[in-house]
Amino acid sequence: MNCSGNKSALGIGFVLILACADAVLSQKAGKLPAAQSVKAEPEDRPLTIDFAPDPEFPYEIITDMELQVVLIAKFKKSGKVTDIKIISTRVPDKLPNALLTKLEQATTDAAKNIRFTPATKNGHPITQRVEVVFTFKRVRNKNYSTWQPRLIA
């Protein structure tokens, strides 16, 4: 049985241990600079929507159609959505004004209940004004909807 391979591995391990011990003793004696601790930079992260409820649409909307409501709102660092304003709607011409008003109110109410993780700057949550585009499509009695946030300032 040849044990020379094991002896050389032991020898290398012993040399490494001696080198590490020498470095530690030299550092303690002031011959080597102390290791610098690296401080991690705080992260900047964008706002993320965790949950966006669908608006409760007026029961009168029974035909196939596509609707879009564009809102501007403050997404506060506290996690609340406030100062919601409708800036435009895209609806079929045949939609009565009373139904449009109900649709806009339902969308505004749903926006108040959006759950999100605030954006961060230098690791701290920040308040942002965000444009939110809500699109609703009804095809063959099935509803499809999306919320798309776009940062304003």
pLDDT tens digit string along 90-146? 988 888 888 889 889 989 999 999 999 999 999 999 999 999 999 887 777 777 778
Domain match, 67 and 97 both? yes
Map tokens 């040399």 to a residue: 15
Range of the domain at 87: 48-151
Domain match, 146 and 119 both? yes
pTM: 0.65
Domain match, 34 and 57 both? no
Indicate which CATH number applies to the domain containing 88. Answer: 3.30.2420.10
Domain match, 127 and 86 both? yes
Domain match, 53 and 15 both? no
CA dihedral 15, 18, 19, 21 (to 10 degrees): 160
Domain match, 110 and 144 both? yes
Domain match, 29 and 54 both? no
pLDDT digits (tens, 9 = 90+) for 17-38: 444 445 545 555 555 455 555 5
